[in-house]
Structure 1
Amino acid sequence: MRQLMASNPDAIVGGGLGDRAPWYLHGAALALLGVVLAIAFLPTYQAIVGIWSRSETFAHGFLIVPIVLFLVYRLRHPLADQQPRVQPLALVPVAGLVLLWVLGALVDVDSVRHFAAVLLIPAVVWLSLGNAVAWTLLFPLAYLISAVPFGEFLVPPLMDWTADFTVWAVQQTGVPVYREGLNFELPTGRWSVVEACSGVRYLIATVALGTLYAYLVYRSWMRRLVFVAFSFLVPILANGLRAYAIVMIGHLSGMELAAGVDHLIYGWVFFGAVIALMFWIGTYWREDRPISEGAAPGPGGGGMAERLSDSTGLGSRSVAAVAGVALTGGVLVASGPLYAGWMNQRDLGPVAGLEEAELPLNDWEAIEADPWEPGYRNARAAFHRHYVDGQGVPVGVYVGYYREQFRHGNMITWDNTMAGRDRDAWRQRSAGRAEIDDWTRPARFELTGPNRQILAWRWYWVTDRLTTSPHEVKARESLSRLLGGRDDAALVVLYALYPDDPEEVEPALRRFAEAALPELLGTLEEVRGR
């Protein structure tokens, strides 16, 4: 017995300190990295919680952390069979996520920062506790993604779907309906599909609940994936039925019911009943017992004896090894916010030389005309002129220049559209891409406003090239800033008013673009260099 204890001092009789010592050591490393992570990314986590508190769509985020802690508690017995060990390979995803956060911070993309900061939590757990523990905690760690406030980009398509389905269902009922965009009129009254009618809050909450339900009720991954897909489709259909039911209740009651506060009450009651029915149906395929009691715990793991013996060597318990990995991880985690903060302190100066610029164009003469501006805010400087050639069709050109967008406002945002979010009198319709030789084909928009119809072509200019992709703009801006450069970008819009058919002014826009774009791009390059 003395010889055994001398050769293996961790082997305390009864499995006390010897079994728990690695957990103390690795737990301390995890706690240290957790503190560094919380301090370094505190503003990002605060921003996430702030969205939970002010948005009903993401209010379920307050429940995610308690649910994750409960799921970890449920796994306490499988975790007791594991022995933690550091996983240096996890430094790669940690570094990648920190870099991703920096890219998002440099171009002010909230969703990128939020996802990176939340995903760093499971990455740090994997780094500190190793493969076997991370695999055992796979679902609880992955479920943290549900805390990220993401999905508002689904609002416009879901609003269109809700309007399409409601109008179609009302017509199938035999009630005449006239539709104009997201507004439609029945003989008894007018209805409008607004953002609250999109059903995005139902969808996001149901997917989060459905994913948790699938994990707790089923054991096979196929059944889990099928139910998650089911929980994605059901709320979309249910929201369409909800909107149809509300419209019909209002119509049949002569707009006495479902037109005020009870509009929302009926919606929530109906939606709750549908989701309860979905979960009840899901119980018919429930699996109460694991598929195999002896199933392997995941990559790098086997039976309990193998897992215990896998971490009994000195290397896995070495204080120096654990401290080295934890220190490296802490430096990586802290470096991202420090670098982004340093970059954002730079003053790149004002934008000069654009507003007073002139375009020397043959066959085109500058004229005075009633100005129209796209609904893009926060430009540091703007160039706005009108020209006409011998054909007699006036063409407008608008250039909005952006610099230090992290401080003054971004060009690519949810609020920046051709019509503008706050312009109730204007309607915007995306009309594909325009045809033009030797240039990137611009995005084409048809805009309708008070006594005016406009055909507009739109490009984005970034790192000395034209593009129509907002994602490419953000990618190029972030890469430029990451390497110490600027985030200069510009909105380039050509437009013309048309009386009846937008095709009438398309040739004039094409002629002007071919004549003006070379001069315009040269001007932008000069402004960028100042």
Structure 2
Amino acid sequence: MSDRALPIARAWPLNLAGWRGHLMALGVVACAILAIFFADVAGMVSIWWNASTFGHCLFIPLLIGWMVQQRLPGLRQLQPVAWAPGLLWLAAGAFAWLLGAAAGVAMVRHGALVVMLQGATIALLGPAVARALLFPLFYAFFMVPFGEEIVPPLQLVTARIAMLLLDLSGVPAHMEGIFITTPTGYFEVAEACSGAKFLIAMTAYGTLVCNICFRTWKRRILFLASALTLSVLANGVRAYATILVAHLTTVDAAVGFDHVVYGWLFFAIIMVVVMAAAWPFFDRKPGDPWFDPAALQGGARQSPAGGVAGAALALIAAAPLWLAITAAASDPLPPMLALPEVKGWTHAPDRQAYPWKPRFDGADHFVTGRYRNAQGQVVDLSIATYARQDEGRELVGFAQGAADPDSQWVWSSPAAAPADARGEQITAPGPVVRHVVSFYRVGSGAPTGSKPQVKIETMAARLLGRDQRAIAILVSAEEGEGHPADAAIAAFLTDLGAVQLLADRAVGIR
């Protein structure tokens, strides 16, 4: 009985040699990454599916698979090895995820997942295979939904291009932020009209073309720069054409024109123009090898595949474990939050010209009120406090702050603000123009208007167990004839005194 069992016992250890064994180990580690960080994986896929700006990301995994398939003849000539130094890249990804989770920045967490998968590939297949797959591994970064930050500046650029062309066409127009007024109507260069989704998709498409169609870096850089520049200019021309059609006909006709021109058809036309212009300069021929297997093979010191896989699993588990261990219990907030009394100002029951309320999802306390002084200046003060920030209840982030995307208020341009605050001009139908000055603070630090600074301070508080209480203080005023918003805000801030003291009282520090 024991003699018959002996061959089975000897055959039991897994053989991790060769492509099959290394791919098996890589599959285990990759599945562990996807399982441990499933919430982030699901969030990333949800963005691909629901946000039109990132719809192209759905095709990136298929393109990566296609690029790997194109390289299979050369890959079969390489010998995979387990390479312990590759764990450094995986560790960098795990650390980046830890920072992103602590700061509440989804883009960093999503990018960290890609880095961890890249690190697992390098560690379990070796440097030769990694160099052979260098571009597909790099291209995986385009699975990360990024680029929303360029929307406001692109809105301004699009509006300025449209204004320049309107001036050249002799159409009388006035621009205020992202709003353009003509005798025909009042036009907004909205987020959807900024051209951001086309620029982001063109970056992914152009990068792929650079690898497939060009061999020299000079031509690659020139092609990508030209493609991106053309995308921005073409979107400005589209906005100009829409306003021009409205000026020559009716607004309804312009809306119909925009619906026909805008969309992926517009992007397809730009791609055709770009490819047609670049075609004569392609210097990679069909069938050219992607790499030289003989030049890549050898030179790497092999490590035990099982040991490398085990170390990889330990590294990816360490990041969420560290965050769970170091997460500090939040300090309590006062049971109630009240608006302050400000010398020279009284609470005013006046109605707003257009209803405005800043958005702070999940805030533990939120109050807002209107003040008036003897000079007739009127401001609105809003305060939101958090005992601690978590996913979905953050001080700064998408949809948070002065302009709620679910309301009629839209961001139109930067506005004047003190050095430690953020100034914004927002606009509602009417048009009603409002200036907002926002102060943010995490823990007992100094107020700031910088959203990146808020994220950094939140990250430090969560990683190091510091005070996580956070507050947003927004002072706002409507722009009116003879009553400039900036002057009203400045007068109120002067009489309010140190914003730091108000923040201390609101979160219960003093």
* TM-score, with structure 1 as normaliser: 0.79
Comparing 201-210 with 249-258, greater Cα deviation is found at 249-258
Percent identical? 27
Other-structure match for 1:474? 455
State how far apart, in whole Å, the 2-side matches of 1:267 and 1:469 are: 34
Is residue 368 from structure 1 mapped to residue 363 from structure 2 by the alignment? Answer: no
1:426–1:249 Cα change, 3 Å: closer
Distance 1:62 1:448 in 2: 34
Residue pair 2:179, 2:188 contacting (<8 A) in 1 also: yes
Asked if structure 2 preserves the Cα contact closer than 8 Å seen for 1:418 and 1:428, the reply is no
Partner of 2:473: 492
408, 433, 440: which one aligns with 1:460: 440
User: Higher mean Cα deviation, 164-173 or 249-258?
Assistant: 249-258
Specify the code of the residue in structure 2 equivalent to 1:492. I
- The one-character-per-residue Cα deviations of 1:311-337 (angstroms, maximum 9, x if unpaired) are 6xxx62x6xx22111101111112324
**Residue aligning to 1:381:** 365
Residues of 1 paired with 2:431 and 2:245: CA distance? 37
Aligned to 1:267: 262
Is residue 501 of structure 1 aligned with residue 498 of structure 2? Answer: no
Alpha-carbon contact 1:357-1:523 (below 8 Å) kept: no
Amino acid at match of 1:165: I
Distance in 2 between the 1:334 and 1:459 partners? 37
The CA deviation at 1:525 is: 6.1
Stretches of structure 2 that go unaligned for 5 or more consecutive residues are: 1-15
Classify 1:427/1:478 alpha carbon distance in 2 versus 1 (closer, same or farther; 3 Å): closer
What is the DSSP-based 3-state SS (H/G/I as helix, E as strand, rest coil) of the residue aligned with 1:377? coil
CA contact under 8 A between 1:399 and 1:490: conserved in structure 2?
yes
CA spacing shift, 1:25–1:163, aligned 2, 3 Å: same
**Aligned equivalent of 1:330:** 313
TM-score (norm 2): 0.82
Query: Larger Rg: 1 or 2?
Result: 1
SS at match of 1:83: coil
Work out the CA distance in 1 between the residues paired with 2:387 and 2:246.
50
CA shift at 1:252, angstroms?
4.3
Structure 2 counterpart of 1:235, one-letter code: S
Identify the residue that residue 17 of structure 1 maps to in structure 2: none
Check 1:129–1:182 CA distance in 2 against 1; reply closer, same or farther (3 A cut): same
Number of the residue aligned with 1:352: 334
Alignment of 1:182-197 (within 5 A): 182-187=178-183, 191-197=187-193
Out of 398, 404, 411, the position equivalent to 2:388 is 404
- How far residue 350 of structure 1 moved from its aligned partner, in angstroms, is 5.7
1:458-491, Cα deviation, whole Å (9 max, x unpaired): 3211131122211111111112112234532111
Whole-angstrom distance in 2 between the partners of 1:31 and 1:433: 52
- What is the CA RMSD across the aligned residues, in angstroms? 3.7
Q: Are 2:491 and 1:511 aligned?
A: no
**In 2 relative to 1, CA 154–457 (structure 1 residues): closer, same or farther, beyond 3 Å?**
closer
Describe the shift of the 1:65–1:296 C-alpha distance in structure 2 as closer, same or farther (beyond 3 A). closer
Shift of 1:279: 0.7
- In the alignment, structure 1 segments of 5+ residues that lack a partner are 1-19, 298-302, 435-439
Distance 1:189 1:56 in 2: 28
How many pairs were matched up?
484
Conserved? CA contact 1:354–1:382, under 8 Å: no
* Mapping 1:95-134, distance limit 5 Å: 95-134=91-130
Instruction: Deviation per CA, 1:483-502: give whole Å up to 9, x if none.
Output: 23453211123456785235
Counterpart of 1:484 in structure 2: which amino acid?
G
Q: Which residue of 2 aligns with 1:206?
A: 202
Are 1:496 and 1:505, in contact at CA under 8 Å, matched by a contact in 2?
yes
Shift of 1:511: 3.3
Structure 2 CA distance, aligned partners of 1:208 and 1:218?
Answer: 15
Q: Distance in 1 between matches of 2:401 and 2:58?
A: 32
CA–CA distance in structure 2, aligned partners of residues 52 and 426 of structure 1: 24
What's the secondary structure of 1:106's corresponding residue? helix
